[in-house]
Structure 1
Amino acid sequence: MMTAGDLSWRNQDLGTRVRVALWLRDEVGAGGIFSKAALRAAITGAEQVDRRMRDLRPAGWVIKTNLDRPSLQPDQLYLEEIGTPVWEREHRAAGLRQISAKTRRYVYERDRHMCRRCGVGAAEAYPGEPDSHARLTLGHVSSHASGGGTHAENLITECARCNELVRNLTGVQMDAAQVWERVKALPRRSKQELFEWMEADGRPLRPVDQAWGMYRQLPAALRDEMRRDLQDLLES
């Protein structure tokens, strides 16, 4: 049985979502204001802290942004209500919808291991940012909080940067008129290309693009080995 000391947000043996929930309960409290920076500084030794915080919402935790409460600063959040006590063992999975390994693998392969929003490949540097490399994750077409499922048709491959951007824009997505203005501003050739993508309901990739995406998802050591093998093949 866990003691009170074990159920502390400082306990790095606990899952990240549980630690986030305990930190919000103990350090912020219902009606309190906090920042993502403060949350990240507290929950050390963990990945995707922001995402684990958002995963509390389907479990009844009401966390508002400045889009919901204009009095908040852009970097502030408001804990309106503490939901299900996910630190209790019987509630650990509350609000979670697990994506199976089979589905995850299928979606990554279907999307050629590339972000469907910006086109960056796994571990590829962002344009103009050689020191910033993409990490791929899965995003929902219809959000988890809105009841979207975890079937492949509702999942797309996104880089962590686009995934975070889309989540922050939830509720203030561009409307059809705004998108149409962007479309009309494209050169005629680009309009034609976009129309063809719309007709096909997808953006076709050349075989070399597909091979690049698959190559980028390999571990670094295997990428180095494959690069040398290709160099030898080209020089033979």
Structure 2
Amino acid sequence: MADVEPSWRDESLGARIRVALWLRDEVKEGGVFSKASIREAIKGTEQVDRRMRDLRPAGWVILTYRDKPSLQPDQLYLEKIGRPVWEPEHRAAGLRQISAKTKRYVYERDGHMCRRCGTAAGERYADDPGSRARLTLGHVNPHKSGGGSSAEDLITECARCNETVKHLTGAQMTKGQVWDRMTELPLQGKRHLLAWMKADFRPLNPAEKVWGLYRQLPAAAREELEGDLEKLMKS
């Protein structure tokens, strides 16, 4: 009896495998698709965009409108199908295993805050109060295929920044727009910003570091600490 060809509709398969099979069967090399279409196909799966990105180190070439100007901002182009990750011998292709020890070290090193926007875990976004930040790990060079998994290769990012940096969601400002924001800063602000640029790191003050640690705690513990600190300040 011949083996049954796996299908992206098989919900028992992992999300990365289902995404690969969907791209192979529904999009095919040279095909254009949207992020909305893949989310619609692979329903009930969190971070389906990330599962698609996980195919790139396995040789899958997926271009965005920044790589291929003829695309619309919400479109992607499947230029090349890489290794068949649905086959058992290729399922780990391109995956980088990050140890729990490394994850813990990176989160602590970065103060449990997104290195790109400074938002702490569970904190509301200033421009989107209805959403709260969820921390994850990203690569210092997000476009480097097969990037390493050592602490030096990783930074703490919130999920929103992680997606935007990899050109899969959102729209980034232009160089000119960022420059306009820079020139609007007071002199002291420009000095701070230049120092952060040169160090490629924004140091946190003691209160910010404790804030990042505080945001990691369960809601009940945070509420207790808020009351304790309030009492301490009144004593």
Alpha-carbon distance between aligned partners in 1 of 2:186 and 2:56, rounded to the nearest angstrom: 42
* CA contact 1:12–1:45 (8 Å) conserved in 2: no
TM-score in terms of structure 2 length: 0.85
1:4 equivalent in alignment to 2:29: no
Displacement of 1:198: 5.1
CA offsets 1:151-207 (integer angstroms, 9 cap, x no match) = 1112111111111111118xxx99999977765553211122234445666333222
Displacement of 1:24: 1.0
* CA contact 2:115–2:202 (8 Å) conserved in 1: no
- Partner amino acid, structure 1, of 2:159: A
Q: How does 1:1-236 map to 2 (within 5 A)?
A: 4=4, 7-143=6-142, 145-168=144-167, 183=182, 186-197=185-196, 202-231=201-230, 233=232
In structure 2, do the counterparts of structure 1 residues 225 and 27 end up closer, same or farther at CA, with 3 Å as the change threshold?
farther
Residue 130 of structure 1 aligns to a residue whose secondary structure is strand
Residue 73 of structure 1 aligns to a residue whose secondary structure is coil
Of 135-144 and 109-118, the range deviating more from structure 2: 135-144
Alpha-carbon distance between aligned partners in 1 of 2:200 and 2:71, rounded to the nearest angstrom: 39
* CA contact 1:57–1:145 (8 Å) conserved in 2: no
Residues matched between the structures, number: 232
CA offsets 1:116-162 (integer angstroms, 9 cap, x no match) = 11111001000142211011111111236344311111211111111
- Partner amino acid, structure 1, of 2:214: Y
- Partner amino acid, structure 2, of 1:4: V
In structure 2, do the counterparts of structure 1 residues 131 and 66 end up closer, same or farther at CA, with 3 Å as the change threshold?
same
CA offsets 1:5-24 (integer angstroms, 9 cap, x no match) = 7x322233322111111111
* CA contact 1:123–1:135 (8 Å) conserved in 2: yes
Alpha-carbon distance between aligned partners in 2 of 1:212 and 1:110, rounded to the nearest angstrom: 14
Alpha-carbon distance between aligned partners in 2 of 1:144 and 1:177, rounded to the nearest angstrom: 23
Task: State the Cα RMSD in Å.
Answer: 3.0
In structure 2, do the counterparts of structure 1 residues 46 and 229 end up closer, same or farther at CA, with 3 Å as the change threshold?
farther
- Partner amino acid, structure 1, of 2:147: G
In structure 2, do the counterparts of structure 1 residues 176 and 58 end up closer, same or farther at CA, with 3 Å as the change threshold?
same
Alpha-carbon distance between aligned partners in 2 of 1:221 and 1:28, rounded to the nearest angstrom: 47
Alpha-carbon distance between aligned partners in 2 of 1:198 and 1:77, rounded to the nearest angstrom: 32
